[in-house]
Structure 1
């Protein structure tokens, strides 16, 4: 399955730039993981751009009001999607004021990385780390332990 991460705005903080680059580098050996930055703006504008950018893919919306999944549960979901023949998934990180209800309704999964509201740069690094962890689990490698 190809993974596309779409995020509003580009990381400006040093830790986010470094963490993003590190996990994207690590993920290269596990498949297709593409990061796409879209213009930041209002919740309505960003949600519309996220919908357009994820057209035709399985949509996973990152939102603190979403379903709380641990790594094992998310790994099972991704494995099930792959077994169903899902070819492309998009992980959507929105504007600072959150996603619109329309975007959440059109999602295949609304996933909470944490019950806390995370700054979007931190959410991006956490998401990439979890995707890397899942990739190692799927390959039977020891990183996840």
Structure 2
């Protein structure tokens, strides 16, 4: 399956850039990965850019109100989407103001990373690591213990 990662901006801090690069490289062993960086001056412009970048792919928005997964649950969700014929999922990490209500309403899924507020750079790394961990679970590999 293709995983399209759409981010508002890119990691700016050195640790986040290194983490993003590492987990993106690892994830590519299991999935086709596309990364799109979008921008905008307002929340509405950012959300519109995310919508355009996702195209027809089901859109999974990172949102604090979203469903929280355990790692095995995320793995099962991705497997289910792939078996169901979904060839691509678009995952969008919004800017500081998050996504607009309109974009949220049209999303396939809202995914919450937890109750904590994470800095944008760290959230980007956490998403990639979670997707990588889910892929290793699906592959039956020992990364997830």
TM-score bracket for the superposition, by shorter chain length: over 0.9
- Relative to structure 1, the CA distance from residue 41 to residue 117 in structure 2 (aligned partners, 3 Å threshold; closer, same or farther) is farther
Structure 2 unaligned regions, length at least 5 = none
Q: Work out whether residues 67 and 112 of structure 2, in 8 Å CA contact, stay in contact via their aligned partners in 1.
A: yes
1:107 aligns with 2:107: yes
Q: Distance in 1 between matches of 2:32 and 2:81?
A: 16
1:1-145 → structure 2 map (5 Å cutoff): 1-145=1-145
Equivalent residues of 1:57, 1:88 under 8 A apart: yes
Runs of 4+ in 1 over 6 A off after TM superposition: none
RMSD in angstroms over aligned alpha carbons? 1.0
Per the alignment, in what secondary structure is the counterpart of residue 22 of structure 1?
helix
Q: Offset at 1:117? A: 2.0
TM-score, length of structure 2 as denominator length: 0.96
Secondary structure, in 3 states, of the residue corresponding to 2:77? helix
Report the TM-score when normalising by structure 1.
0.96
Distance 2:41 2:66 in 1: 22
Please, which runs of 5 or more residues in structure 1 have no aligned partner?
none
Are the aligned partners of 1:41 and 1:95 in contact in 2 as well (CA < 8 Å)? no
Higher helix share: 1
**Alignment size in residue pairs:** 145
